Amino acid sequence: MTHPPGDSLRLDRPSLAVAAFLALALLAPSCARAPRGERAVRGEIKRQLGQGFRLFRRPTVDADDLQPLVRRFYRGRGFRPAWTSGRGPTADARLLRRALDQAPREGLDPSTYALGRIDSLMKRATPRFLGPRTPTRSLAALDLLLTRAFLGFAAHLSTGQVDPRALPADWHVRRRRVNLVAILSDSLHAHHVPEALAAMPPRDPRYAALGGALERYRAIAAAGGWSPIPPGPTLRRGQHGPRVVALRARLARAGDLPPQGSRSAVFDGETEAALRRVQERLGLTPDGVAKAQDLAALNVPVERRVRQIELNMERWRWVPDSLGDSYLMVNIPAFALELYEQGKPALTSRVVVGKQFSPTPMFSDRITYLVINPSWYLPASIIAREVLPAMMQDRSYLKHTGIRVFDSPHPDAREVDPAKVNWSSLDWDTSSTQPFPYSFRQEPGPQNPVGHVKFMCPNQFDVYLHDTPAGHLFSQSERDFSHGCVRVEHAVELAERLLEGVPGWSRAELLAAFASSMRDSAVRLPQPMPVHLFYWTAWVDDRGRVQFRDDVYGLDRVLEEALGHRRPL
């Protein structure tokens, strides 16, 4: 079956407000009764659609509404009812209603889809209650509500409830394009409504793994969750007392200790090993010692962990179906990078990401070349905030840091003697539309903050991955220290993997270039490497462990607020 191109919609979270009209129509005092024939229902559907719906719009929720799709769907079928007949709701209608009950498994709220009103109307339209006095408007309202429920549920499953571009955060990732009207029409024609909806969620197995984690943590919550561990001094092996009992009970609730013996008051080797496992899953130092930071993470209620999983399932719905056969993924809250080759992890590295006031943006791009022994052109913001104050305190600052000044950022720029410039007379406002008249370049060397290699993925943010001489930062559990770029601990190993098979760039030749050359050189990759900078605060790792991380940029809270602004059908 073919469909006009106009049916295709880029779904960036349609707002799911339903017509106030539909709700009021059922309560209207009119006693007029229309015949139940399809012609009468068809006319009533057309009339209700012609009345128009009151739209609820919110700034953080996509302004696109389902109403145009509903109209297009019915116009394409001559306004014939899709879910009802003279005998009441069709088999497809009942299958859709059962499918909507699966919304919680996807981290979605079923009340969004007006199930109460649908159930009431379906009951009134069953053969037991259906009669000549059944209002035609009720059958039309039921048909419209079921259509909106299908389109809304399918939209939420496939591209999410919220448009990330409307959030106060940099998320720039190409999203799926889904033709909802075509999918609805085809599923009704083939009587495959549940199958069509089952095909809508993200195909990446990591999304399904989060769904399994959601079920598990909801079960823990239903069983009573876990009690907080009382505050107090650090707990470690060899200690005993009521706080150790509370710690062991918390570990047992999450399955890290066997239920039997969980009330022991002794912090033994078993407790220490279980605590290490939990610390690894929470991104904490896995030393088996319960410090204040560890206790705070352990005391996060299970209900909060459930919500965290739901929020990250929503983010997965913003991601395209394919990330590439081989690709790099940076998880910002985990301060980690993974290289995937043919879909399997091939290299893992700790990374440093941007500070909260200079965050690393979320985007997808392609690494097309590497720069060996790169120079660093300092951004105006860093010059204004850091370099200028240092220059004012120490006139030799530029010399001993290897920074040179030029009269423009162009390749043919002329070098300037910084001692001959009246720096205090310049406009250092980084928001100014006037370009800064000088370019600052730090030459390759041990003090260069981009290290021996840069991984270039030209993008609008001027953000890239690079090496760093500040290796001591990777020993910290929270690593948000950069100005936005991503510093890679195992940059040499990553460069070696990306340059594999490129003549003249074996590991030995790469290390020799680092050691012998003070000039930058670009090496183009034979095939561009996709790179994705994402924001996951909950995921399931390759060993099946549910991982949680702190919301380093506060984006879980932002997303939760946006979801709270939605209106149900």
Q: What are phi and psi of 118, to 5 degrees?
A: -60, -45
- Residues 6 or more apart from 21 whose CB is under 8 A from it? 48, 51, 52, 53, 54
Structure tokens at 224: 């009573």
* CA 166 to the chain's CA centroid: 14
SS3 290: strand
Number of C-beta neighbours around residue 455 at 10 A: 23
Amino acid found at 182: A
- Residues 6 or more apart from 142 whose CB is under 8 A from it? 83, 84, 89, 93, 118, 121, 122, 125
Q: Of 156, 466, 490, 532, which residue is the catalytic one?
A: 466
Structure tokens at 279: 């610390």
Question: Given the structure tokens 């199930």, which residue do they identify?
Answer: 115
How many helices and strands, by DSSP H and E, does the chain display?
19, 18
- Determine the Cα–Cα distance for residues 353 and 564; give it in Å rounded to an integer: 29
User: Is 466 noted as a catalytic residue in this protein?
Assistant: yes
- Residues 6 or more apart from 412 whose CB is under 8 A from it? none
- Sign of the alpha-carbon torsion through 322, 328, 331, 337: positive
SS (H, E, C) 308-370: HHHHHHHHHCCCCCCCCCCEEEEECCCCEEEEEECCEEEEEEEEEEECCCCCCCEEEEEEEEE
Amino acid found at 475: S
Structure tokens at 431: 């928001």
How would DSSP label each residue in 45-78? HHHHHHH--PPP--TTS---BSHHHHHHHHHHTT
How would DSSP label each residue in 113-169? GTHHHHHHHHHHTSTTT--TTS-HHHHHHHHHHHHHHHHHHHHHHHH-SS-GGGSSS
Q: Of 156, 452, 483, 485, which residue is the catalytic one?
A: 485
- Determine the Cα–Cα distance for residues 194 and 187; give it in Å rounded to an integer: 8
SS3 414: coil
User: Is 565 noted as a catalytic residue in this protein?
Assistant: no
Please report which helix (H) or strand (E) contains residue 392, including its range: helix 388-393
Q: What are phi and psi of 305, to 5 degrees?
A: -65, -35
* CA 255 to the chain's CA centroid: 27
Q: Measuring CA to CA, how many Å separate 316 from each of 13, 179, 423, 556?
A: 13, 19, 48, 13
Please report which helix (H) or strand (E) contains residue 538, including its range: strand 538-540
Catalytic positions, please? 466, 485
